[in-house]
Amino acid sequence: MGFLHYLRIWLACARYSIVRTMMFRFDFLMWSLVEFFWMSVNLLLVAVIYEHTDSIAGWNKYQMLLLVGTAMILQRLMMGFFWSNLFELGRNIRSGQFDFFLAQPGHPLFMISTRKIDPDSLINSIVAIAVVVYAVRQLGLHPGAVDIALYVALLACAIVVHYATVLLVVSATFWLIGSQGIEGTYFTIFEFSRLPREAFRGVTSVLFVYALPAVVVSNVPAQTLIHGFQPLHALWLLGLAVAWLTVAIFVFNRGLRRYSSASS
């Protein structure tokens, strides 16, 4: 089964999701509003703190806005493309509905990861991009096509890390059937991605900058726009993406072997 086959499956799923969203237009509007409001909450936090200080760990207001905007793009894309699918994976394993995915015409991991897209999150990713563009203009930066391409490539690596983290957490359900709510760990971990790396000291730095990929995912792309391309940082993020995805796929496949369905 080649790339074209999977692309066709994904396009069919995406079309179904959009048609379904258009059937429940009020719901779509409300959820878009909910996400927009939550994003505004994060921006207001930045605005209020910088009313009282000029710098947080060496980051000025618009640099911080760029960082928060980058973290928001990542989370919106993650929510738009993968969150519902991976969230439902846990539920499906518990209920035995996961059987259904094993019978579909593609690798189970692809089938569970791409079944739905959430247009309300994707719409809000445009707002997050606008925040980044606004911050870039306020900082007087003029990134060229190569800088933007590098920023996008680093965002792609960061999305892989987000995806792998959720997959890893949800795959625990294969072993811990009664682990409802474990998916929320994702939000706990990536709350740190809205903070500058330099704000972390001692143990928290070891834990959230080096041991967990919570901070690097947003800081490396944002710093690339602010200070230019830093190969070592880019390699760090790329390495993290490869390592986390490899571990997540390994754990998922091991879990898949344990899966024995649920009683009917």
Partner 1 sequence: MISSLTKYCHAFLVGLQGNIVYRWNFAFRGFSSLFHLIVVFTLWGAAYAGKSSIGGFDLGQTLTYFVLLLVLQFFIGAFNEDYQISEEIRNGLINQFLLKPINYFLYRFSIFLAARLVSGLLVLVAVAVALPFIYHHLTLPTDAWRLWLGLPAVALSAVIQFSIAFCFGLLTFWFLEIQSFVILSYAIETLLGGQVFPLDLMPASIFRISQFLPYYYQMYFPAAIFTGRIDRTQAIEGIGIQLFWAAALLGIAHLLWRRGLRRHTAVGG
Chain residues in the site for partner 1 (CB under 8 A): 27, 30-31, 33-34, 37-38, 41, 44-45, 48-49, 51-53, 56-57, 180-181, 184-185, 188-189, 191-192, 195-196, 198-201, 204, 208
Q: Based on CB atoms, which residue is closest to partner 1, 61 or 115?
A: 61
Q: Based on CB atoms, which residue is closest to partner 1, 122 or 238?
A: 122
Please name the residue ranges forming H helices in the chain.
3-23, 25-52, 61-78, 84-95, 99-102, 108-113, 119-138, 145-171, 185-190, 202-205, 216-227, 231-258
Q: Based on CB atoms, which residue is closest to partner 1, 25 or 257?
A: 25
Rounded least distance, CB 29 to partner 1, Å: 9
Q: How many Å from the N-terminal Cα to the C-terminal Cα in the chain? A: 31
Rounded least distance, CB 45 to partner 1, Å: 5
Instruction: Name the residue type at position 224.
Output: T
Picking from 125, 133, 142, the residue whose alpha carbon sits closest to that of residue 71 is 125
Distance of alpha carbon 60 from the chain centroid: 25
Integer Cα distance of 117 and 128 in angstroms: 18
Q: Based on CB atoms, which residue is closest to partner 1, 19 or 41?
A: 41
Rounded least distance, CB 76 to partner 1, Å: 15
Rounded least distance, CB 7 to partner 1, Å: 32
Picking from 201, 198, 240, 243, the residue whose alpha carbon sits closest to that of residue 219 is 198
Instruction: List C-alpha distances in Å: 241 to 154, 160, 244, 246.
Output: 10, 6, 5, 8
Q: Based on CB atoms, which residue is closest to partner 1, 55 or 246?
A: 55
Q: Based on CB atoms, which residue is closest to partner 1, 150 or 169?
A: 169
Half-sphere exposure of 263 (CA within 13 A, CB side): 0
Rounded least distance, CB 63 to partner 1, Å: 13
Rounded least distance, CB 170 to partner 1, Å: 16
